[in-house]
Amino acid sequence: MILWIFIILALGIFLLFGSEAIIKNDWIRQIGMAITLICIGISCRMIALRRRGGKERLLEKIKELESKLESLKSSQPSEDEEE
């Protein structure tokens, strides 16, 4: 998906800055601007979701380790039992 976004972004940038070489039309520049902004928005959204996914995995790992720690604490004899 990243590859397609880069390809479409390149097309949008080409339409934005290279519209004078194709046709002298302001609509071409506006379409290029829209395509470029959409691709930038999609990229930012993908980065944000990737970071959120990493954060969720870390929170799950913390809960798992806390439960293991609690089970280890309960399996060890307390100081009162040792005496």
b/e map 22-33, b = 16+ CB within 10 Å: eeeeeebbebbe
Spell out the long-range contacts of 52-56 with Cβ–Cβ below 8 A and sequence spacing 24 or more.
Answer: none
pLDDT (tens place) for every residue of the chain, 83 residues total: 778 888 888 888 888 787 676 677 778 888 888 888 998 898 888 888 887 777 788 888 999 999 998 888 888 776 655 55
**Predicted local confidence at residue 63, as pLDDT:** 92
The reported pLDDT for the residue numbered 76 is: 76
pLDDT for 11: 84
| pTM of the shown model | 0.56
Query: Which residue type sits at 24?
Result: K
